Amino acid sequence: MHKFTVTLTREIEADTAEEAALLVYQELSREPVPDSYSVTDETKATIEIKLDRNKADEFASIDHTADPGNW
């Protein structure tokens, strides 16, 4: 299993870093889940990924932890 760092970027105006984080959290709890991400692998290579919303929703609806290949 490989490790990846997935980054979601939002530009937020706030008075403090904590407030900015809370505003992003608030946005994510109300808006549709974002579909664009930066993904960095173990070699520090970064790619931009835009997910197909329908495929992502289908993937999210399946319990992948039940797959023996994930054990």
26 within a domain of the structure (yes/no): yes
Domain contains 48: yes
Distance CA 7, CA 38 (A): 5
* Domain-embedded: residue 70: no
Task: Round to the nearest angstrom and report the end-to-end CA distance of the chain.
Answer: 10
Q: What's the average model confidence in pLDDT over 35-57?
A: 94
Of 10, 6, 37, 14, whose CA–CA distance to 24 is shortest? 10
Q: What are phi and psi of 5, to 5 degrees?
A: -105, 120
Number of domains in the chain: 1
- What pLDDT does residue 66 have? 67
pLDDT more than 70, % of the chain: 92
Residue 67 lies in a domain: no
Higher pLDDT, residue 4 or 57 = 4
Q: State the pLDDT at residue 9.
A: 87
Residue 71 has pLDDT above 60, yes or no: no
Q: 28 lies in a domain?
A: yes
Give residue 17's domain range: 5-62
